[in-house]
Structure formats: structure tokens, C-alpha cells
Structure 1
Amino acid sequence: MADKIRKGVLVVLGLVWLAPVYLMLANAAKTDDQYGVVSVWQAVGISGLLENVATAWDRGNISEGIASTALYSVVSPGLAVLVGAAAGFAIVALRLRHGFFWFVLIFSSTVFPLQMILMPLFIGYVEAGLYDTRVGMILIYTVISVPFSAFVMRNFFSGVARQVFEAAVVDGASTWRIFWRIYLPMSGSALAAVFILQATFVWNDLLLGLTLTQSAETRPVMTALSALQSTYGGSTMPTVLAGGLIVSVPTVALFLLTQRAFTRGLSLGQF
């Protein structure tokens, strides 16, 4: 009986979770004449989907946004997991002096909302010449991704036996070699899980894109998508929803292709 109740609850939660996806698909496939006349819950086929997708792609500069965001979503999380792994390795394996203090200092940056630093961040970017540049976006995405990466990797390395490090030292391995050849390969699943989470965060970011970018070739895809429904974008809701469908496909595909590594990383990284 308990199993049936649990399955029933999971089915209901799954339907609730999928309801927004259905609404996006159903309304992205409507033509401009159908939207607002036909109920949002009623599907009318896929007659207008391809046209809306093509309009969103051309009018919203989605292709340039995807190219920029793909760069940010690969480079920044990649750098962040390496820096976070190095910090965790130094705190746990090297037993850095006052290691817990440094860990708290790194992770404390997540305490304050990002909105609190937007104005000084904007001013600093303008003065440093980083505003509306891809280097600047990679830098800020890397910085805000490091604390969570350090948190997870410190937890993971805490579960590695101290004898592993001591045996490598006895064999004459340098600190860099121990980190690069032993600890990093050992933590592959945890690194993959952190990378996937941070890449998804970067891909879905809107706030930093609106604040720190302006040109079409630099701004992230979510910022380009938001421009579709702005005063100057002037796109109808089916077109905007079609654009949302386009930009959501990469993250869905990422989770589907890496779900096994992601699940293993969640357990090994002790989230």
C-alpha cells in the first residue's frame, strides 16, 4: 500500500513538474491568430512551431547568444572546478594552516545576494575595460562558481584516506603531481557533477548578462531571449516561447547525456 501511495505522489509531482513544459510546447506551436483565442491549455498541433522557431532564431540573435553562452558555460565552470579542487586539495591533503578559516572565507562569498554588488561590479568593469567583453563574462562566471566548487571538492577530498597522500610522498611524487595524477582522476565524478551544475547556472543566467553586456555578440543567450519581448523586440508570445524552447534544449540534453555521472557525483561529493 505504501509503495502505491509513494508512486502516486511521484506521478502527481511529475505531472506538476511537466505542466510548464507542456504549456510552453503547446503555445509555442500556435500561430499569432490562435494565441489568445484558443485556451493556453489546448494544443492545436505544430503548425506554427517551425515558423515561430525560425522567427525567434532570426529576430532575437539567438545564434550569437548560444555561441557566447556555450563559451561561458564551458570555460568558466571548467576553470572553477579546477580552482575549487585545488583549494580543497590544499585545505584537506596539504593541511593548509588555518585551512578552515580559508574555506569559510571562500564560501562566505555566497552569503550575500549578487544584487548587492551589481553596481560596484558594473563600475569596476567599466573602469577596467571589461564591460561588454567575453573575457569579463568568463571572469565573473568563474569567480562566482568557485565557492560551491571548493565546498564540494573539500567534502570529497575529506573522504580520501590520508595514506594515499603519504604513500605518494614516500614514492617521491611532488605536490603538483599528486594533485594532477592522483587526486583529480580520483574525483572525476564529483568534478563532473559540479561542472554540470555550474554550466547550467551560467547557461540560465540573466542578471549578469543584462548588467555587464550590451552587444549582441557578447551578451548571453538568456539576455538575447529577454530582448525578444522588450519594447524594441516586439515579438509575440508564441515567438518568445519558441525562443525559450530553443535555449532550453542544450541543458536538457546535457542532463540526459550525463545523468549517470551526475548521479554518481552527487553521492560521492556529499552535497
Structure 2
Amino acid sequence: MNSPTVGSVIRRVVLVAMGLLWLVPVYLLLANAAKTSDQYGFIDVWQPVGMSGLFENMGQAWEKGNLGAGVLSTAIYSILSPAIAVLIGAAVGFAIVALRLRHGFAWFVVIFSSTVVPVQMILMPLFRGYVKFDLYDTRIGMIIVYTVLTIPFAAFVMRNFFSGIAREVFEAATVDGASSLRVFFRIYLPMSTSALVAVFILQATLIWNDLLIGLTLTRSSDVRPVMTALVAMQSTYGGSTMQVVLAGGLLVSLPTVVLFLLTQRTFTRGMALGQF
């Protein structure tokens, strides 16, 4: 049995140290979200007090913050928008790589260049446009904006992935009489399942954790995303104590953690194949 080299030992130590460093905020969140009103502020933030108050604080956050409506709305946005964006991004990559679209690279640059402009710069015209076309504070409007924002990255990854598929696959299918749509849906999409899932997970997590778009384009409790509802709990009108807000933050972060745990292998394989 070969003994570990100095380089591998150093690498493991660095990885363990980085993992522990990443867990420090998680520990502080758990330690303080579990404190009761008479404990928070009087006991040091680093000192744990057990988990007895955690579920009580979560219950208060769920009721006072109306997080149920926010979770439902965010789930809709986080499922529909990435799904549409991944399908459109895959179609873009297929058209550029397999169909060899004329000036395909130029079209790709145009699509991906939208990521150069920060979202903060377009918030005001976006807000005015949404008000003008009656999309402000609607779920349809939120699905549209999230889909548009996630298409460029999906197109980038899927173009890279399809570039790794041999051209002969497309040519053989067309020789057999398959149409371009049939090749796309029956051959290319099934071959790129891992990349599609990886992009979907990344974009779904991005949408789930979004705050800026939700604050700008929503107002009512049944439309606004869950992060916006969580922030509202900290306002003067929200009136929730800090440990309740922390428990709410922990509660709404659980779906993304569960999603990553359930799709860990597919996500890792998709990252490698999609050449992120």
C-alpha cells in the first residue's frame, strides 16, 4: 500500500480547513436560531444552547412571515424558469453546433453578452417596462424575467457540451431520415441529461436565493419570492425578533440543500461534461 505523499497530505489539510471555515457561518446560524427571546443577546453568539427553541422559532417565522406563500411562488419560479431556459439554451447550442447556423458564433456572442451588463443597471427600465405592460407584481412577469436572465448561461454550457458530440452522430441520424427536431429531442437531449440537470440545479438555486429582482418587481405576499418575504420580517412592520428571522433563513435554505444532496452525482458529472 502506497503511503500518501506530502502533496496529497497538504491538499487534504487545505480541503478540511476550507470545509471547516465554510461551516462556521452554518454553526453560527444554527446556534443563534435555536435561542429563545430571553437568551438571544444575553448569551454569546458562539455559545450553543441546544436545539429546543429552533422549531418554535421556525414555526413563528413560518406564520409571521407568511413564508408559505413565498415558498410556493419561489418553487414555481425555480422550476419553470430554469426548465424553459435550459430547453432554449439547449436549442441554441444545437443550432450553433449541430445545424451549423450561419454566423452562429456571432449569435452566441450576442446571447452571452447580456451577462456583461449587471442586473442593477437595468432595474429601473425593467421596472418601468413591467408597470407599462401590466407585468409588475405578477407571477408571469417573474417567470419571464428569471427565464431571460438564465438563458445565456444555459446556452453557454450546452454549446460547450454539444461541441463534444461527434458530428457523425448528427449526420448518421439525418441519413436515416430523421428531422432536425427529432435528432434534437431523441438523440441530443437524452445524451446531455447530466449537463441539463447541472445547469437546471445551478439556475434554480440562483432564482431561489434571489432578492434584488423580487424586491424590485413584486409587492404582494402571494407573488413575492421567499427571500423578499424573509427580508420583510426584519422591517419595522415585520416586527420579528432576530432569532426568528435566522430560523426562517435556515428553514427556506433547506430545499436547495436537499436538492443538491439528491442530485449530487448527476450534478458533478454534468459539471465535468459541460466544461464549466
- TM-score interval (norm. to shorter): over 0.9
Displacement of 1:5:
2.0
Which residue of 2 is the match for residue 68 of structure 1?
Answer: 73
Q: Please give the residue correspondences for 1:1-271 in structure 2 after superposition, counting only pairs within 5 Å.
A: 1-271=6-276
User: 3-state SS of the aligned residue for 1:42?
Assistant: coil
- Percent identity of equivalent pairs: 72
In 2, Cα distance between the equivalents of 1:3 and 1:191?
A: 33
> What is the CA deviation profile of residues 223-249 of structure 1, one whole-angstrom value per residue up to 9, with x for unaligned ones?
000001011111111000000011000
User: Any gaps of 5 or more consecutive residues in structure 1?
Assistant: none
TM-score by length of 1: 0.99
Displacement of 1:107:
0.1
In 2, Cα distance between the equivalents of 1:115 and 1:10?
A: 34
Question: How many residue pairs are counted as aligned between the two chains?
Answer: 271
In 1, Cα distance between the equivalents of 2:148 and 2:251?
A: 28
User: Any gaps of 5 or more consecutive residues in structure 2?
Assistant: 1-5
In 1, Cα distance between the equivalents of 2:270 and 2:230?
A: 32
Letter in 2 for 1:213: T
4+ residue stretches of structure 1 with deviation over 4 A? Answer: none
User: 3-state SS of the aligned residue for 2:45?
Assistant: coil
Displacement of 1:154:
0.3
In 1, Cα distance between the equivalents of 2:230 and 2:124?
A: 23
Displacement of 1:51:
1.4
In 1, Cα distance between the equivalents of 2:51 and 2:171?
A: 63
C-alpha root-mean-square deviation of aligned residues, in Å?
A: 0.6
User: 3-state SS of the aligned residue for 2:222?
Assistant: coil
Letter in 2 for 1:110: T
Displacement of 1:12:
1.0
In 2, Cα distance between the equivalents of 1:2 and 1:194?
A: 33
